[in-house]
């Protein structure tokens, strides 16, 4: 059941050269001379690589239905992370490298999303924001303020290391953006 370029929508998944891509943005172009075409920016679901591709107007492509399955992180086992399907309670080990950089923010009982198409795992999405306790950092000193602009390294309970302001101390719980490894705010002391 192929669709044509007039059915394109942002976020739609399509099959192109055996790979699954999502449409980041598209633009219909009707030049004064010649046929109309559709200029697109596509993101490869497996790797996150972005490409630009031009389609002729009316060109047909194969749509892909991406299923988002919630799984729960149970524990680390060497270089593997053990995930549990929340519907069937089946446990499966997954290499941490397949989950990507976000794996360093996973703590026990945290949920993540598995992207699947046609029974094949395309990728993993960790939560965008996580709240984790600081387990090691240099102590803050009197006079260190929120607006200081200076930062220091802090090790979180999962082992991830991020930069935090000087007023953050061991035992504080901080909110982190997992996409950019950025400290956002202190949640509680």
CATH number of the domain that 138 lies in? 2.40.50.140
Question: Residue 103 and residue 99: Cα distance in Å, rounded?
Answer: 6
Residues 119 and 138 reside in one and the same domain: no
* Domain edge (last residue) among 63, 86, 110: 63
* Domain edge (last residue) among 28, 63, 98: 63
Residues 162 and 138 reside in one and the same domain: yes
Kindly report the pTM of this predicted structure. 0.72
One digit per residue, the tens of pLDDT, for the chain of length 189 reads 788 888 999 989 999 988 899 999 999 999 888 889 999 999 988 877 899 999 998 899 999 998 988 999 999 888 899 999 888 899 999 998 888 888 899 999 999 998 888 888 888 888 989 999 999 998 866 555 555 568 889 999 999 999 998 888 899 999 999 888 899 998 877
Q: What is the pLDDT of residue 143?
A: 56
8 Å CB contact between 100 and 48 = no
Domain count, the chain: 3
Range of the domain at 57: 3-63
How many C-alpha atoms does 83 have within 13 Å on its Cβ side?
23
Residues 155 and 167 reside in one and the same domain: yes
Residues 51 and 90 reside in one and the same domain: no
* Domain edge (last residue) among 42, 63, 84: 63
Residues 84 and 111 reside in one and the same domain: yes
* Cβ-defined contacts of 114-117 (< 8 Å, 24+): 114/68, 114/69, 114/70, 114/71, 114/83, 115/45, 115/66, 115/67, 115/68, 116/66, 116/67, 116/68, 116/69, 117/13, 117/20, 117/45, 117/64, 117/65, 117/66, 117/67
Q: What is the pLDDT of residue 174?
A: 94
Residues 117 and 134 reside in one and the same domain: no
Rama region for 181: left / alpha / beta (φ>0; ψ in -120 to 50; rest): left
8 Å CB contact between 156 and 132 = yes
Question: Residue 166 and residue 162: Cα distance in Å, rounded?
Answer: 12
Residues 71 and 54 reside in one and the same domain: no
Tell me the three state secondary structure of residue 31: coil
| CATH number, domain containing residue 31 | 2.30.30.30
8 Å CB contact between 150 and 138 = no
Residues 10 and 45 reside in one and the same domain: yes
């Amino acid at each position: 059941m192929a669709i044509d370029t007039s059915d394109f929508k942002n976020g739609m998944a399509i099959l192109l050269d055996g790979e699954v891509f999502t449409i980041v943005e598209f633009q219909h172009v009707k030049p004064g001379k010649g046929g109309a075409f559709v200029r697109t920016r596509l993101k490869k679901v497996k790797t996150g690589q972005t490409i630009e591709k031009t389609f002729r107007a009316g060109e047909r492509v194969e749509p892909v239905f991406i299923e988002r399955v919630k799984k729960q992180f149970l524990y680390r086992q060497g270089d593997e992370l053990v995930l549990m399907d929340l519907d069937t309670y089946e446990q499966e080990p997954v290499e941490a490298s397949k989950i990507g950089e976000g794996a360093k923010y996973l703590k026990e009982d945290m949920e993540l999303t598995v992207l699947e198409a046609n029974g094949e795992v395309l990728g993993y999405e960790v939560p965008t924001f996580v709240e984790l306790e600081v387990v090691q950092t240099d102590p803050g000193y009197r006079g260190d303020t929120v607006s200081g602009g200076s930062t220091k390294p802090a090790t979180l309970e999962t082992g991830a290391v991020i930069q935090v302001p000087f007023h953050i101390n061991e035992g504080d719980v901080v909110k982190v953006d997992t996409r950019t490894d950025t400290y956002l705010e202190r949640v509680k002391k």
